[in-house]
Chain A
Amino acid sequence: MEVENKQQVNRFTVPIGPQHPALKEPGHFLITVEGEIVTDATVRLGYAHRGIERAVEERSWVQSMYILERVCGICSHIHATAYALGVEKLAEVEVPPRAQAIRVLVAEMERIHSHLLWLGVAAHEAGFDTLFMYSWRDRETVMDLLEGLTGNRVNYSANVLGGVKCDVDEAQADAIRQGLEFLEERTHHYLNVVTTDALFLQRTRGVGTMTRTQAELLGATGPTARASGVKRDVRVDAPYAAYDDYPAHMVIETNGDLEARFVVRIKELFESYRIIREVLDTLPPGELTARMPRRVKAGETISRVEAPRGELFYFIKSNGTDQPERIRVRTPTICNMASVVRLAVGHQLADVPMILVGIDPCFSCNDRMVIVEGANAERRSWTWEDLRQYGIEHYHQQSA
Chain B
Amino acid sequence: MTAAATMQQRGSRLTGLSDFFFRRPGALTLVLLLAPLMWIGIVYVGSLLALLLQSFYSLDDFSGLVVHKFTLSTYAQLGEPANVDIIIRTATMAACVTVTGAIIAFPIAYYAARHARGPMKAAFYLAVMMPLWSSYLVKVYAWKLILAKEGIITWLAGETHTTWLLNAILGLPTIGGPSLSFSFTGTFIVFVYIWLPYMILPTQAALERVPKSYIEASADLGAHPRQTFWTVILPLALPGIVAGSIFTFSLTLGDYIIPQIIGNSRFFIGQAVYTLQGTAGNIPLAAAFTVVPMVIMGLYLMGAKRLGAFDAL
Do A and B pair up? The answer is no
